[in-house]
Structure 1
């Protein structure tokens, strides 16, 4: 089911140690990865200072965009839990200066309550 969830565009939890090995060079001094989620090739990292959205592009995935969202620039956010028929959960982030939210979808195994608590704790 995890394979199909990935094909449908739903992120699942990703091992923090593996994420730190792969993306450690993106981190600043004293910054640590606290939670990580993976969607086929794309990754969402919640660090001690910001959210990093990793978007691998093209067929080979060699071209990669790293979008860094400092917690202080998040004006509001919402999470939507998975239901009985709707098997995915959603996160929406509204960032200052942007009219539309940044949206990511997760599979039902992700604890969106823990995710929202982690984000709420970081927002000033």
Structure 2
């Protein structure tokens, strides 16, 4: 499992869902759809209509991958912070029952749309 106790787990930029779909498709359940995806250097995060999937690519070859599934129905609270003039990163904080706080940083993303996505599936 990804160590979410770090201050920041990923610094993410938008990517096309079709680029990462082959990697996560085997764990997608019937009726689940990829809504958006974001990529760091090797790792990535996928938002579906049911959960957040964080993928940690491991090893030198990148063949080993850790998939962490974070269902929206376990979110107790969330917070978004927009980017500023000097601080270009937007942040999403999620508090999960039984897991604690998960923080994701986004660059070049509409954090309000991500907040809307989380609200749509949790409220």
Provide TM-score, normalisation by structure 1. 0.85
**RMSD of equivalent CA atoms:** 1.4
Q: How many residues align?
A: 114
Q: Which residue of 2 aligns with 1:102?
A: 102
How far has the Cα of 1:90 moved from its partner?
Answer: 1.1
Q: Which residue of 1 aligns with 2:6?
A: none
Q: Distance in 1 between matches of 2:61 and 2:88?
A: 29
- Equivalent residue of 2:31, what SS? coil
Structure 1 residue 15 and structure 2 residue 16: aligned? yes
Q: Which runs of 5 or more structure 2 residues have no equivalent in the other structure?
A: 1-9
TM alignment of 1:1-124, pairs within 5 A = 10-99=11-100, 101-107=101-107, 109-124=108-123
Q: Distance in 2 between matches of 1:82 and 1:24?
A: 31
How far has the Cα of 1:31 moved from its partner?
Answer: 0.9
Q: More displaced, 58-67 or 32-41? A: 58-67
Q: Distance in 2 between matches of 1:68 and 1:111?
A: 23
Q: Considering Cα pairs closer than 8 Å and 6+ residues apart, tell me whether 1 or 2 has the greater RCO.
A: 2
How far has the Cα of 1:16 moved from its partner?
Answer: 1.6
Displacement over 3 Å in runs of 4+ = none
How far has the Cα of 1:35 moved from its partner?
Answer: 0.8
Q: Which runs of 5 or more structure 1 residues have no equivalent in the other structure?
A: 1-8
Provide TM-score, normalisation by structure 2. 0.85
Q: Distance in 1 between matches of 2:70 and 2:120?
A: 15
